[in-house]
Amino acid sequence: MKLIKNISLPILFLLLLSACNNQKKSENNATGKIEGKITLSGAFALYPLANVWAEEFRKEYPDVKFNISAGGAGKGMVDVLAGASDLALYSKDISPVEVKKGAYGFAVTKDAVIPTISSQNPIIGQIKKKGLKQETLASYFLKDGKKVWKNTKNEVNVYTRSDASGAAEVWVKYLGGKAQEELKGIGVFGDPGLAEAVKNDPKGIGFNNVIYVYDLNSGEKYPGVDVAPIDINSNGTIDPDENFYHNLGEITKAIADGRYPSPPARELFLVSKGKPQSKVVKIFLNWVLTKGRAFVVPNGYILLEDAKIADEIKKL
């Protein structure tokens, strides 16, 4: 009793409040309540879907907070390996060097990079009718010097990504190169910036992830941006089975069934440093690979096969 008499009322109040909080935390743990914060950083390609997943996940787990930022796949990998984020949004294959540093990836969905032009391009009719061969695209993006649209005198202004980008690496590999640094052109930061630059330049050509070309609500292409169809079989014309760019449904179906080549189609990943240890991160990843699949197609992405998803879940 002497001890209690020597404690002032404010201090006694704080002690009682602390005891109540500790009891509440114990009750939360006992009832399986999930709380915490998850930080994700990286690819613009996966950024929109990651935000949808976070929003839907919080409907079940409202005490989990998210911090999600897009700065390119390269930044995402740097952040996660440095411990600055819990998960990287990653839009290219994880390299052996990255694995050696601790990168531990989960394939979660699929999308593609597509060549983009302005809807004000002066020869857009010709481009849509004949398409662009892989070798023609390579001459634009991998070679120096003045460039013109094939069989015309119309100049081509080439745009690429200035940030370390999974989309750029996938695109250069499709063209026969090895690294993003080989791409020529005017560097622009991020997917939205690149789409805007091409949109505003009738002479421009670039490349974008599908979700930045098509409006999710209408399924139509964003005003001002169009797609330069790829002449996949190099026969000088866009055949009916190559003509799948009219709307979001057409292009995603072509990616899913393999008519659109891979690369530049590719899997997208969530990457942790080492096998995840955080309970809340593991629960989120499991949710993404199970319940989260319901939000993939409605948001413009492609579902991975069930067997592939089962293999990813086993990694947890």
Ordered domains of the chain (ranges, CATH)? 36-111+267-314 (3.40.190.10), 112-257 (3.40.190.10)
**pLDDT 10s digits, 4-55:** 344 444 443 433 444 444 433 333 433 468 899 999 999 999 999 999 999 9
Lookup: tokens for 124: 């857009």
**In contact, 104 and 272? CB cutoff 8 Å:** yes
pTM of the model: 0.87
**pLDDT 10s digits, 164-211:** 999 999 999 999 999 999 999 999 999 999 999 999 999 999 999 999
The one-letter amino acid at 160: T
User: Smallest Cα–Cα separation from 133: which of 198, 228, 264, 203?
Assistant: 228
SS3 110: strand
User: Smallest Cα–Cα separation from 111: which of 166, 37, 193, 176?
Assistant: 166
